[in-house]
Amino acid sequence: MALLILGILSVQVLGWAGRVEQNNQHAQTSQISDAAKRKFITAILPIAQEQQKQYRILTSITLAQAALESDWGQSQLAAQYHNLFGVKSSAANAKALTTKEYVNGQWITVTADFAVYTSWTESIEAHTRLFVQGTAWDSQHYQTVLDAGNYKEAAQALQTKGYATDPNYATKLISLIQTYKLNKYDTLSETNTNE
């Protein structure tokens, strides 16, 4: 069954089995309650913090990307297939879904195969591997994201490195982090003071 995934932002995951391009129209207009948003943050917070401790990926960035791209865990891709970041895949167990991709300055609808994970933890760990291992053509591609001193720098580094085609991707991440005070979960000393 095909689904138009409206809760996911245009994201291009470089070096994975395909480009991930999905839009955020639903996330901007959805009526997800604050309680549901808090529940989502609570559910993924421990793994996001663990990934920051081990690999220096700011917790606020992981939380904001997951919230934005999965519509707070409410999209079918996140809810049924545990894929928080809209990662495409050519694996045998991938699920074909329709989605919106931003191509040549406009949104188009396409069918794509998306990765299936056993849990949100597995999805976050795969997301971390992309940042740590880089792309097939550049193992240091996301090093600036890892080296960022605060969430604003990290969000801008994601934009600069082409993680998302949406020209407002960094702004949207920063806005989510500020609105929900997600940077309070970052453990780097400069992260909490250098906003």
Give the pLDDT of residue 188: 57
Q: Please state, for a pLDDT cut of 70, what percent of the chain lies above it.
A: 81
Domain count, the chain: 1
Mean pLDDT of the 151-158 span = 97
Give the pLDDT of residue 77: 93
Q: Could you give the C-alpha distances from 91 to 18, 94, 176, in angstroms and in order? A: 11, 5, 32
Position 3 in a domain: no
Reported confidence tier of residue 27, pLDDT bands at 50, 70, 90: very low
Mean pLDDT of the chain: 82
pLDDT tops 80 at residue 134? yes
Rounded to whole angstroms, the Cα distance separating 192 from 25 reads 30
Position 6 in a domain: no
CATH number of the domain that 90 lies in?
1.10.530.10
Position 19 in a domain: no
Q: Please state, for a pLDDT cut of 90, what percent of the chain lies above it.
A: 64
Give the pLDDT of residue 167: 80
pTM: 0.80
Position 13 in a domain: no
Mean pLDDT of the 28-45 span = 87
- Read off the pLDDT of residues 78-133 as tens digits, 9 standing for 90 and up: 999 999 998 888 889 999 988 777 778 888 888 989 999 999 999 999 999 999 99
- The residue range of the domain holding 138 is 25-187
Give the pLDDT of residue 16: 36
- Read off the pLDDT of residues 163-178 as tens digits, 9 standing for 90 and up: 877 788 999 999 999 9
Residue of 160, 118, 130, 119 whose CA lies nearest to 62: 130
Give the pLDDT of residue 117: 96
Reported confidence tier of residue 162, pLDDT bands at 50, 70, 90: confident
Sequential DSSP letters for 108-151: EEEEEEE---SSHHHHHHHHHHHHHH--SS-TTTTHHHHH-SSH
Segment among 22-26, 49-53, 156-160 with least mean pLDDT: 22-26
Position 69 in a domain: yes
Give the SS3 label for residue 191.
Answer: helix
Position 12 in a domain: no
Position 65 in a domain: yes
Give the pLDDT of residue 7: 31
Position 79 in a domain: yes
